[in-house]
Structure 1
């Protein structure tokens, strides 16, 4: 399965997650893959939601992993099994106030660290995007930050704030 994920171009993180989900699925089901039924899959996913109290996104990801296994490895159609994907939860993020953000940033004395935090916050970057940033990715004349191969292996631009440019 790992080779097929690599050949399909899945990221390292996605491969690790998919393999983990499939491993947990087999540990729970304890059946030969050829004998797994729609009811086995449904029961496993329901148990993840009800008994293990896993988030809907987690269970949806588990379903995607199992579907990949059946379609690309076992060469069986799981789409016809009519297994519903859990409804996406609508949760609001916890947002810090401007005063809270300013307080955090004021405690950072190292200018390099403060610059990184300000760019991260003001540009809305993910951790994985920040760690790969270089000076060549900053375009102060256009007030843009270029993100190379971010989530979903997509390039994108985001805003570079005046505050980030004025860090001292």
Structure 2
């Protein structure tokens, strides 16, 4: 490991960045260095500009990917190399397209979960839908996080290194108890292939792709789709937005508010002005044969 990489990792750990963020940032800086075949210490704003143009015009990466690359390079140059960041004076940050998630109906969720053959994977995906957990949070649950007396699940160090509590529905508690009796998993509720490690989220993603094809569901299905469904179905059932924000662990209410644009209880509750118009059925002229 080069001294620069070691120093950057130390800087990220001091600032309490998550292990996933550290991994992504290092990978982005390594790709940048490999593109020019030089250490970042020998590169500067001109090379950063050239690289971002390459990612945008030649590789045609999405704005979200470019933003991650910019964040990684900004950290490396401003924090680790202690240089000024002037790139955005030349290249403004890309704007991400605002896309609403496609949400599964309750019937589709039931059909999907019922088609998952692997018992462990089915329980994990059920947890995602029943509680709104991110897949990264669900796979890292421990038995001690299940509080059956208060009927809550404690999520430790979720996204943004924040702890929070989510609901523990009685039906989910029964499913988890049955799973525990059958498997006796140990420290991690959902152990992975390697001893002492939880299951990888990639395994669950792969299961979702396979089961979606078996079910014939034409909507995209991933663990995060079940989190979206959890939020929208709660909103349609009358749960207030602030409660949903706390359950999802969103920092800003505006992030949760996007579900207002999806929930049928909001979108379809107001009558169209067309309903108040007194118009008859259109009279079609008789067709005259030519």
Equivalent residue in structure 2 for 1:107, among 104, 115, 122: 115
Structure 2 unaligned spans of 5+: 1-7, 179-290
Residues 51 and 105 of structure 1, relative CA distance in 2, 3 Å threshold: same
Is 1:165 the counterpart of 2:185? The answer is: no
Aligned to 1:40: 47
The answer to which of 137-146 and 61-70 deviates more is 137-146
Secondary structure, counterpart of 1:152 in structure 2: coil
Shift of 1:144: 2.4
**1:148–1:155 CA contact under 8 A, matched in 2:** yes
The separation in 2 between residues aligned to 1:109 and 1:40, in whole angstroms, is: 50
The verdict on how the C-alpha distance between 1:102 and 1:162 changes in structure 2, with shifts beyond 3 A counting, is same
Name the structure 2 match of 1:15.
22
**Corresponding residue number in structure 2 for 1:118:** 126
Equivalent residues of 2:124, 2:139 under 8 A apart:
no
Separation in 2, partners of 1:29, 1:58: 19
Check if 1:156 corresponds to 2:164: yes
- How many residue pairs match? The answer is 168
Shift of the alpha carbon at 1:92? Answer: 1.9
For the residues of structure 2 that align with 1:6 and 1:136, how far apart are their CA atoms? 27
5+ residue gaps, structure 1, are none
Say which one has the larger Rg: 2
Match of 2:73 in 1: 66
1:49 aligned onto 2:51: no
The answer to whether the Cα contact below 8 Å between 2:48 and 2:87 also exists between their aligned partners in 1 is no
Which residue matches 1:27? Answer: 34
Distance 1:55 1:162, change over 3 A: farther
Aligned partner of 1:75 among 68, 74, 82:
82
1:3 has 2:17 as partner = no
Q: CA–CA distance in 2 between the matches of 1:115 and 1:88?
A: 34
The 10-residue stretch of structure 1 (6-15 or 105-114) with the greater mean CA deviation from structure 2: 105-114
Contact 1:119/1:160, CA 8 A, preserved across alignment:
no
Q: Please name the residue that 2:145 is paired with.
A: 137
Q: Report which stretch shifted further, 137-146 or 152-161.
A: 137-146
Q: 1:127–1:10: structure 2 CA closer, same or farther, 3 Å change rule? A: same
TM-score (norm 1): 0.82
Over the aligned positions, Cα root-mean-square deviation in angstroms equals 2.6
Moved >6 Å (runs of 4+): none
Judge which range, 117-126 or 60-69, deviates more: 117-126
SS in structure 1 opposite 2:160? Answer: helix
